[in-house]
Amino acid sequence: MWDLREAAEQLGAKLLRPREPYSASGAECDSRKVGPGDVFVAIRGRRHDGHDFLGEAFSRGAVGALVAHDPGEGHNLILVEDVEDALWKLAAWRRDRLPIPFVGVAGSFGKTTTKELLGAALAVRYRTFRARESYNSEIGVPLEILSIPNDAEIAVLELGEEAPGDIARLNQLVRPWAGVITGAGEAHLATLGNVTGVADTLWELAEAIPEEGVLAVCWDSPELRAQAKGCAGVCLRFGSGPEVDFSPREVRADDPQGVRFVAVTPEGELAIQLQLLGRHVATLACGALAAAWGLGIPAQAAAQAMAKVRPLPHRLQLHPAPFGWVLDDCYNANPLSTRAALWTLVNLNLPVETRMALLGDMLDLGPEEERYHREVVEEARWQGVDALFAYGPRMCAAFSAWEGPGAGESEDLEALVGKIREEAGRLPSLILVKGSRGLALERAVEALIAD
């Protein structure tokens, strides 16, 4: 916990309408997610101004707020000129008071899954804090640091990248002692240029690891392998090739109860059963296993802990529906993760007669976005998807490459869901829903699973 009066003093700010309690246990910028003991951070966004939601935040138990002006309600308001700048400075102050190792998780895909698996493994030995949801930006990471309890012995945070230097800046705040890079792929190409640019930005995490620290890096990404000589700390390799320290073999990813595989580790081989879906999850689990092992967790104990991790919201999460099942993978999308989701759709062992995909636009792919969208449509046909439904202007443009049943809608999601229902009502069906975060395709998931 931290003291609001000390925080205001550190920022050289006024504390408006002070009153007990002054102890804060966390921070949140979404008033709907505020809990007792949180400080509400009133961010002014493109659509909403957090200052308009102070009343809701305090009704949910906020003990104070970080604000740029006094809206006339609430108490323990830390009044600053720039809320985002003050949030960063406050997190840096809090980080200085946490003498524990921090672990950063970066990559083009699988960050949240890896963070959850690694957090579970580390909890075998340490009081472990792991970031909530996918708070990995210049706002999310400071919020997480302000939410780390005093008794934590290690913290696992996600580090997101959208442009060169993003992870390097987050490193200044996090100061990671260990890290995992899950892989480099076609993501944020509008700003990073190509996969080599992606790898260069992800490698910023490796450059921050001290000589006594530990880095687990995916050896399946040639762009990351090319950087490996620049790792100052202990570099543990994971992936599917022969030159790695941790790898999965005998992967069984068709069981709807979860992935099973044999992990090859420096301690020998061990069988692992996860509750998570997707063939690629076996490799991510080996990355978490590698980092945990480097941090002193025996592989067997780590594997047993990871087996308890529940499916994560909107990440290959299987829901029953009136017509069969919905495979909800709508949190985000890029070409690599979409191909992995299509493989899971086609190979899950479920009593269905038709397998369909609702694919939304994959955003932020730069000048070659047309090609990437066309390739995933062709991938769906090659994988054997029975019907395809496209949402968004980019995916609809690529829909012309599809030669089977389905439909496309640039903007009318409700109409598209109606067409999916009509198609799914004919036979027991499994439907994958996959698209970038900006499309909010959880709306389609909710509609499809409703009775």
Residues 143 and 265 in one domain: yes
> Does 348 reside within a domain?
yes
Which helix (H) or strand (E) element contains residue 289? helix 280-294
> Does 125 reside within a domain?
yes
Residues 239 and 301 in one domain: yes
Q: How many C-beta neighbours within 10 Å does residue 185 have?
A: 21
DSSP state of 147: T
As a whole number of angstroms, the distance between CA 310 and CA 195 comes to 31
Which helix (H) or strand (E) element contains residue 197? helix 195-208
pLDDT for 153 equals: 98
DSSP state of 97: T
Pairing type for strands 23-24 and 102-106 reads: unpaired
Domain boundaries, position 359: 317-449
Cis status, amide bond into 21, omega within 30 of 0: yes
Domain end point (choices 23, 52, 82): 82
Q: How many domains does the chain have?
A: 3
Residues 117 and 66 in one domain: no
CA angle 381/450/324 to nearest 5° reads 45
pLDDT for 181 equals: 97
pLDDT for 370 equals: 96
Q: How many C-beta neighbours within 10 Å does residue 35 have?
A: 12
What CATH number is associated with residue 59? 3.40.1390.10
> Does 89 reside within a domain?
no
As a whole number of angstroms, the distance between CA 293 and CA 291 comes to 5
Residue type, 182: T
Residues 136 and 52 in one domain: no
What CATH number is associated with residue 179? 3.40.1190.10
Domain end point (choices 253, 282, 306): 306
Residues 41 and 75 in one domain: yes
Residue whose C-alpha is closest to residue 416's, from 376, 447, 382: 447
Residues 362 and 445 in one domain: yes
Contact by Cβ (8 Å): 423, 440: no
Residues 203 and 324 in one domain: no
57 Cβ neighbours under 8 A, 6+ residues apart: 28, 31, 34, 38, 40, 65, 74
pTM of the model: 0.94
Residues 178 and 141 in one domain: yes
> Does 330 reside within a domain?
yes
As a whole number of angstroms, the distance between CA 186 and CA 191 comes to 11
Residues 300 and 326 in one domain: no
pLDDT for 359 equals: 98
In order, the DSSP letters of 21-62 are: --EE-EEES-GGG--TTEEEE--B-SS-BGGGGHHHHHHTT-
Residues 141 and 269 in one domain: yes
3-state helix, strand, coil in the chain (%, to 5): 40, 25, 40
Contact by Cβ (8 Å): 100, 154: yes
Q: How many C-beta neighbours within 10 Å does residue 151 have?
A: 9
Task: Return the bridge partners of 78, or none.
Answer: 15, 66
Residues 224 and 194 in one domain: yes
Contact by Cβ (8 Å): 52, 28: no
The torsion angle over the Cα atoms of residues 68, 72, 77 and 80, rounded to 10 degrees, is: 20
DSSP state of 68: S
As a whole number of angstroms, the distance between CA 376 and CA 379 comes to 5
Residues 144 and 267 in one domain: yes
Question: What is the chain's pLDDT, residue by residue, as a tens digit (451 residues)?
Answer: 899 999 999 999 999 999 999 999 999 999 999 999 999 999 998 888 999 999 999 999 999 999 999 999 999 999 999 999 999 999 999 999 999 999 999 999 999 999 999 999 999 999 999 998 788 999 999 999 999 999 999 999 999 998 899 999 999 999 999 999 999 988 888 888 898 999 999 999 999 999 999 999 999 999 999 888 778 789 999 998 888 999 999 999 999 999 999 999 999 999 999 999 999 999 999 999 999 999 999 999 999 999 999 999 999 999 999 999 999 999 999 999 999 999 999 999 999 999 999 999 999 999 999 999 999 999 999 999 999 999 999 999 999 999 899 999 999 999 999 999 999 887 899 999 999 999 999 999 999 999 5
pLDDT for 451 equals: 59
> Does 186 reside within a domain?
yes
Domain end point (choices 32, 48, 82): 82
